[in-house]
Amino acid sequence: AFLGSVSDYCAHHANCPILIVKPPKEMTN
């Protein structure tokens, strides 16, 4: 839910790094 909120927030503000919108696979693993 947190990532969804961040993605939604970035979608509206469009001023955040791409790393937040597109989480790196390295950190996921």
The predicted-structure confidence for 8-23, as pLDDT tens digits, reads as follows 766 666 555 555 555 6
C-alpha–C-alpha distance, residues 28 and 15, integer Å: 23
Q: Which has more pLDDT, 28 or 3? A: 3
Name the token pair of 5.
Answer: 């909120």
Place 5 in a pLDDT band, splitting at 50, 70 and 90: confident
pTM attached to this predicted model = 0.25
